[in-house]
């Protein structure tokens, strides 16, 4: 019985945080968000790759470190804490899981080593598997794709896309004729989302061309579980930072001749944040471990985890903003970066209501 | 991360499981002090449990316990298996849970020999005399006085929220023995026989309609000075070692898990317009949100247990169980009441529904627990001050005329 991060995971966390502080100070985060075309700090991404964390879910024979989802959670928590403009969810979580589950040996050998080295980026179009807008979605007609895929995370600057359509999942180069990438500006500038439009794009390279029926759907469901846990980890890291900033501010700012942190009205808000966050962190670790080792629990705990963290994150960032008072409402105050980051994490790939409904289905509680 | 137990621990679990199966018939009914009559079946069960090391496990043999080395995992397995089997864990209550650890740490040899064995056997029941009408959250401002006359302590004052006082033979109490000392330094920890002349116990009926608590009045109650635990004026320090224990018991995840499962059953079985409440998407959504919180508290308990096993400080994570757990339990009861609709308001005295009565009782009782054992607001002070390093509320500049 040992419920918690291992010595190695803590070391990874400390190393990563040092690296992020050095490579991605907030001034740099703001600069990348404002000026960069694809919203990614390439140098920091390479540095992460050298540390082995970009390949944390990639097998060793393809240059990865063959880690667990709990390792990925350690990374994602640190990236959330640093508001890092890096394509971790797309290129280090979703794409490796799908290549690993569905890719042919040739596809795996072509893409996984490059992903692990941070030299290729792959974005996965999954939103339509979660909630499809009336006018969105992909149609496969005579070997060609039509329609659109929205809210594709980490898509700006991707080399290839993975897009499920029908019973298959297709590998599509960004340069494919008829494929267009339209930026979808969101509140959060630290990760870039796009709409992919398909105007008769040749769908000639499926992953798992010979996969058994249901295998693609199962792999996508599993990738979604992982993505939800990783988004929840991003929320936990963001909440950690928001709470740190709040406590620090409450211990500095004076009104009525006292530090505002000595007023119970303020310090109880901070206590509530910590009280909500710590059990939620325990749930996060459990959901990651369930994904790695408890197949029967994996889907339900990932679903409940993402739903709960979305609620905790929203409340916590609102409270943190209130602790900061008027300054918390300004662009200059760094806190707003995480307010927005959590805002995106909450909605992406299923918000609380959708996920609670899904949790009920998984337990056969729905009619 | 490893949620499996070691082979040795699993062997212990199997042994315990077999024991519970083989001895099920000998177990007393699952109530302890409800009547005040000491149940011989309970005493026999307790004796059997101690012999096998399943009760009073960490209490040394010379004081009537099982004398085993402390192992938080074994303690967890025992709690899990008795809960699973729905069998009595033997004698419980504030005597065994709070007084015995205190005496083992701070008591004299004479006190340990005299009080620990009968308490462990279940023959001596205790109540806790801490809170007073004027000393709740600010417990250290307590005013029950202990005046020293030769080798006797003469007590005057009043205690409140004293559960089981009507049945207990003994009370462990905090009294002010040094009137002129600073507030925390003037308190002593004393053991009081409840049949001493001058003690009056009056039941305190709560909003549930039951007298779960009592008020206890002291009018020139004479207790031998040798009944002090530790030195005069050390009572605050001594009491604090066990108060921490109480806070960990309140809001435990196993209670939430049980309440969650029970609420889910209520929602499955209660039908309105021919459909179970669970099919109402709004109620179902609320249940799922509370399921996530319940699972989070269960995981959190495993994390804190791991900190204990690793010998690590849990930090702020170790201070949040009572606040979260009690609120969660209250919310679960509230959801069950809502799922029952109009039937949710039924209470005792009618023929219709005992289920609503149970949930209304939980709803009120859990609110009591949000307040008792350190209010939610005191918990937040503790989390902010000890966990986050935030400052205490400044003391008022004007001296309190009543201050001692």
Which CATH number is B155's domain given? 2.40.110.10
- And the tokens for A27? 């001034």
Residues B273 and B379 in one domain: yes
Distance from CA of A249 to the nearest CA of B (A): 11
Q: What is the CATH number of the domain that holds B375?
A: 1.20.140.10
Q: What is the CATH number of the domain that holds A283?
A: 1.20.140.10
Residues A54 and A86 in one domain: yes
Task: Determine, yes or no, domain membership for A2.
Answer: no
Asked if pLDDT for residue B80 goes beyond 50, the answer is yes
Distance from CA of A358 to the nearest CA of B (A): 10
DSSP, collapsed to helix, strand or coil, labels residue B159 as strand
Domain termination site, one of A207, A234, A261: A207
Residues A253 and A290 in one domain: yes
Residue among A66, A91, A89, A95 nearest A76 (CA)? A89
Task: Determine, yes or no, domain membership for B198.
Answer: yes
Asked if pLDDT for residue B245 goes beyond 80, the answer is no
How many CB atoms are closer than 10 A to CB A265?
Answer: 8
Residues A109 and A181 in one domain: no
Residues A101 and A155 in one domain: no
What's the confidence (pLDDT) of residue B400? 56
Residues A196 and A96 in one domain: no
CB-CB: which of B5, B388, B393 is closest to A270?
B388
CB-CB: which of A272, A281, A357 is closest to B285?
A357
Residues B266 and B382 in one domain: yes
Q: Determine whether the interchain pair A251/B323 forms a contact, defined as Cβ–Cβ distance below 8 Å.
A: no
How many CB atoms are closer than 10 A to CB B314?
Answer: 19
Mean pLDDT of the B281-297 span: 98
Is-catalytic flag, B246? yes
Confidence of residue B66 (pLDDT cuts 50, 70, 90): very high
Task: Determine, yes or no, domain membership for A367.
Answer: no
CB-CB: which of A280, A356, A365 is closest to B289?
A356
Residues A48 and A147 in one domain: no
Task: Determine, yes or no, domain membership for A181.
Answer: yes
| Contact criterion met (CB below 8 Å) for A121 and A91 | yes
Residues A260 and A298 in one domain: yes
> Which of chain B's residues have a Cβ under 8 Å away from the Cβ of A359?
288, 291-292
Domain termination site, one of B72, B92, B112: B92
Residue among A148, A153, A154, A182 nearest A347 (CA)? A153
Domain termination site, one of A71, A97, A120: A120
> Which of chain B's residues have a Cβ under 8 Å away from the Cβ of A283?
292, 295-296, 299-300
Per-residue pLDDT of chain A (367 residues; tens, 9 = 90+): 999 999 999 999 999 999 999 999 999 999 999 999 999 999 999 999 999 999 999 999 999 999 999 999 999 999 999 999 999 999 999 999 999 999 999 999 999 999 999 999 999 999 999 998 999 999 999 999 999 999 999 999 999 999 999 889 999 999 999 999 999 999 999 999 999 999 999 999 999 766 777 899 999 999 999 999 999 999 999 999 999 999 999 999 999 999 999 999 999 999 999 999 999 999 999 999 999 999 999 999 999 999 999 999 999 999 999 999 999 999 999 999 999 999 999 999 999 999 999 999 999 998 6
> Which of chain A's residues have a Cβ under 8 Å away from the Cβ of B287?
360, 365
Q: Determine whether the interchain pair B390/A267 forms a contact, defined as Cβ–Cβ distance below 8 Å.
A: yes
Residues B223 and B298 in one domain: no
Q: Determine whether the interchain pair A274/B381 forms a contact, defined as Cβ–Cβ distance below 8 Å.
A: no
Query: Could you tell me the residue range of the domain that residue B192 belongs to?
Result: 126-231
- Which residue in B281, B296, B317 has the most chain A C-beta atoms within 10 A of its own C-beta, making it the best mutation to test that interface? B296
Rounded to whole angstroms, the Cα distance separating B390 from B393 reads 9
> Which of chain A's residues have a Cβ under 8 Å away from the Cβ of B383?
271, 274-275
Asked if pLDDT for residue B35 goes beyond 60, the answer is no
Residues A185 and A301 in one domain: no
A·B CB contacts under 8 A: 167
Confidence of residue B32 (pLDDT cuts 50, 70, 90): very low
Task: Determine, yes or no, domain membership for A128.
Answer: yes
Residues B382 and B259 in one domain: yes
Residues A265 and A167 in one domain: no
Q: Determine whether the interchain pair B296/A283 forms a contact, defined as Cβ–Cβ distance below 8 Å.
A: yes
> Which of chain B's residues have a Cβ under 8 Å away from the Cβ of A365?
264, 278, 284, 287
- And the tokens for A135? 């006018």
CB-CB: which of B3, B279, B306 is closest to A367?
B279
Query: Could you tell me the residue range of the domain that residue A110 belongs to?
Result: 7-120
Q: What is the CATH number of the domain that holds A29?
A: 1.10.540.10
CB-CB: which of A4, A270, A282 is closest to B384?
A270
| Contact criterion met (CB below 8 Å) for A141 and A123 | no
> Which of chain B's residues have a Cβ under 8 Å away from the Cβ of A252?
none
Nearest chain A residue (CA) to B386: A271
Q: What is the CATH number of the domain that holds A176?
A: 2.40.110.10
> Which of chain B's residues have a Cβ under 8 Å away from the Cβ of A286?
295, 299, 302
Task: Determine, yes or no, domain membership for B244.
Answer: no
Residues A266 and A336 in one domain: yes
CB-CB: which of B295, B391, B393 is closest to A283?
B295
Q: Determine whether the interchain pair B380/A268 forms a contact, defined as Cβ–Cβ distance below 8 Å.
A: yes
Residues A283 and A296 in one domain: yes
Confidence of residue B402 (pLDDT cuts 50, 70, 90): low
Task: Determine, yes or no, domain membership for A185.
Answer: yes
| Contact criterion met (CB below 8 Å) for B77 and B9 | yes
Residues B257 and B340 in one domain: yes
Q: Determine whether the interchain pair A267/B384 forms a contact, defined as Cβ–Cβ distance below 8 Å.
A: yes
DSSP, collapsed to helix, strand or coil, labels residue A2 as strand
Residue among B215, B197, B195 nearest B205 (CA)? B215
Domain termination site, one of A105, A120, A135: A120
Residues B138 and B81 in one domain: no
How many independent structural domains does chain B possess?
Answer: 3
The dihedral formed by the CA atoms of A41, A45, A46 and A49, expressed in degrees to the nearest 10: 180
Task: Determine, yes or no, domain membership for A201.
Answer: yes
- Which residue in A2, A263, A279 has the most chain B C-beta atoms within 10 A of its own C-beta, making it the best mutation to test that interface? A279
Residues B158 and B204 in one domain: yes
What's the confidence (pLDDT) of residue B246? 63
Q: Determine whether the interchain pair A308/B4 forms a contact, defined as Cβ–Cβ distance below 8 Å.
A: no
DSSP, collapsed to helix, strand or coil, labels residue B191 as strand
What's the confidence (pLDDT) of residue B33? 46
Residues B143 and B213 in one domain: yes
CA–centroid distance for A216 within its chain: 21
Task: Determine, yes or no, domain membership for B120.
Answer: no
Q: Determine whether the interchain pair A247/B381 forms a contact, defined as Cβ–Cβ distance below 8 Å.
A: no
Mean pLDDT of the B219-242 span: 94
Asked if pLDDT for residue B236 goes beyond 80, the answer is yes
Distance from CA of B393 to the nearest CA of A (A): 5
Residues A239 and A334 in one domain: yes
Task: Determine, yes or no, domain membership for B322.
Answer: yes
DSSP, collapsed to helix, strand or coil, labels residue A169 as strand
Residues B161 and B285 in one domain: no
Task: Determine, yes or no, domain membership for B189.
Answer: yes
- Which residue in B384, B386, B395, B396 has the most chain A C-beta atoms within 10 A of its own C-beta, making it the best mutation to test that interface? B384
Task: Determine, yes or no, domain membership for B115.
Answer: no
Task: Determine, yes or no, domain membership for B109.
Answer: no
Task: Determine, yes or no, domain membership for A315.
Answer: yes
Place of tokens 């740490």: B105
Give the residues across from A194 on adjacent strands: A152, A183
Distance from CA of A31 to the nearest CA of B (A): 32
> Which of chain A's residues have a Cβ under 8 Å away from the Cβ of B379?
271, 275
How many independent structural domains does chain A possess?
Answer: 3
Produce one character per residue of B166-185: b if its CB has 16 or more CB atoms within 10 Å, e if not.
bbbbbbbbbbbbeeeeeeee
How many CB atoms are closer than 10 A to CB A214?
Answer: 10
Q: Determine whether the interchain pair B292/A258 forms a contact, defined as Cβ–Cβ distance below 8 Å.
A: no
């Amino acid at each position: 019985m040992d419920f918690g991060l291992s010595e190695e995971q803590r070391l990874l966390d400390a190393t990563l945080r040092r690296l992020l502080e050095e490579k991605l100070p907030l001034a740099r985060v703001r600069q990348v968000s404002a000026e960069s075309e694809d919203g990614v700090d390439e140098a920091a991404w390479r540095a992460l790759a050298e540390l082995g964390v970009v390949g944390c879910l990639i097998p060793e024979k393809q240059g990865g470190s063959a880690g667990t989802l709990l390792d990925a959670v350690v990374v994602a928590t640190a990236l959330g804490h640093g508001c890092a403009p890096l394509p971790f969810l797309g290129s280090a979580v979703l794409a490796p899981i799908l290549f690993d589950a569905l890719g042919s040996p040739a596809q795996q050998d072509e893409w996984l080593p490059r992903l692990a080295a941070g030299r290729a980026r792959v974005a996965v179009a999954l939103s339509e598997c979660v909630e499809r807008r009336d006018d969105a979605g992909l149609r496969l007609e005579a070997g060609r794709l039509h329609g659109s895929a929205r809210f594709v995370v980490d898509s700006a600057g991707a080399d290839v896309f993975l897009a499920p359509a029908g019973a298959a999942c297709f590998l599509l180069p960004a340069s494919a004729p008829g494929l267009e990438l339209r930026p979808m500006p969101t509140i959060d500038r630290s990760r870039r989302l796009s709409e992919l439009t398909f105007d008769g794009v040749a769908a000639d390279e499926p992953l798992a061309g010979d996969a058994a029926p249901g295998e693609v759907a199962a792999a996508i469901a599993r990738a979604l579980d992982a993505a939800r846990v990783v988004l929840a980890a991003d929320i936990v890291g963001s909440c950690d930072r928001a709470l740190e900033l709040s406590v620090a501010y409450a211990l500095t700012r004076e009104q009525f001749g006292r530090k505002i942190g000595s007023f119970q009205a303020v310090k109880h808000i901070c206590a509530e944040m910590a009280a909500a966050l710590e059990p939620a962190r325990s749930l996060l670790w459990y959901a990651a471990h369930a994904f790695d080792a408890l197949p029967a629990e994996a889907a339900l705990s990932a679903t409940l985890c993402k739903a709960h963290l979305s609620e905790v994150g929203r409340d916590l960032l609102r409270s943190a903003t209130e602790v900061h008072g008027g300054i918390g409402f300004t662009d200059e105050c760094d806190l707003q970066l995480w307010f927005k980051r959590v805002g995106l994490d909450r909605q992406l790939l299923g918000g609380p209501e959708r996920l609670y409904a899904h949790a009920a289905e998984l337990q056969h509680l729905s009619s | 991360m490893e949620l499996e137990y070691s082979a040795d621990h699993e062997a212990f679990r199997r042994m315990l499981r077999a024991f519970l199966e083989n001895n099920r018939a000998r177990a007393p009914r699952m109530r302890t002090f409800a009547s005040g009559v000491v149940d011989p079946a309970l005493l026999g069960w307790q004796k059997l449990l101690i012999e096998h090391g399943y009760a009073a496990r960490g209490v040394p043999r010379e004081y009537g316990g099982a004398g085993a080395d402390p192992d938080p995992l074994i303690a967890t397995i025992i709690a899990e298996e008795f809960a699973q089997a729905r069998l009595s864990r033997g004698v419980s209550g504030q005597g065994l849970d709070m007084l015995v650890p205190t005496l083992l740490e701070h008591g004299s040899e004479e006190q340990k020999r005299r009080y620990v064995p009968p308490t462990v056997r279940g023959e001596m029941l205790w109540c806790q005399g801490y809170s007073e009408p004027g000393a709740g959250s600010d417990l250290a401002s307590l005013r029950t006085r202990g005046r020293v006359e030769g080798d006797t302590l003469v007590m005057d004052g009043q205690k409140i929220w004293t559960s089981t006082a009507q049945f207990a033979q003994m009370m462990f109490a905090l009294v002010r023995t040094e009137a002129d000392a600073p507030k925390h330094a003037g308190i002593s920890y004393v053991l009081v026989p409840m049949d001493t002349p001058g003690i009056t116990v009056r039941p305190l009926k709560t909003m549930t309609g039951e007298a779960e608590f009592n008020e206890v009045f002291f009018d020139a109650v004479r207790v031998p000075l040798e009944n002090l635990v530790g030195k005069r004026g050390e009572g605050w320090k001594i009491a604090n070692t066990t108060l921490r224990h109480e806070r960990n018991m309140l809001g435990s995840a196993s209670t939430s898990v049980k309440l969650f499962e029970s609420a889910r059953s209520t929602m499955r079985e209660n039908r309105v317009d021919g459909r179970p409440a669970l099919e109402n998407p709004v109620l179902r959504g609320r249940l799922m949100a509370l399921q996530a919180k319940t699972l989070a508290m269960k995981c959190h308990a495993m994390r804190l247990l791991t900190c204990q096993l690793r010998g690590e400080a849990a930090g702020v994570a170790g201070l949040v169980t009572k606040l979260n757990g009690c609120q969660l339990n209250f919310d679960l009861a509230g959801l069950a009441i809502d799922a029952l609709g109009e039937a949710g308001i039924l209470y005792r005295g009618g023929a219709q529904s005992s289920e609503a009565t149970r949930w209304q009782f939980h709803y009120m009782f859990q609110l009591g627990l949000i307040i008792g054992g350190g209010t939610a607001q005191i918990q937040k002070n503790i989390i902010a001050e000890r966990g986050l390093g935030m400052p205490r509320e400044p003391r008022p500049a004007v001296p309190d005329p009543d201050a001692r």
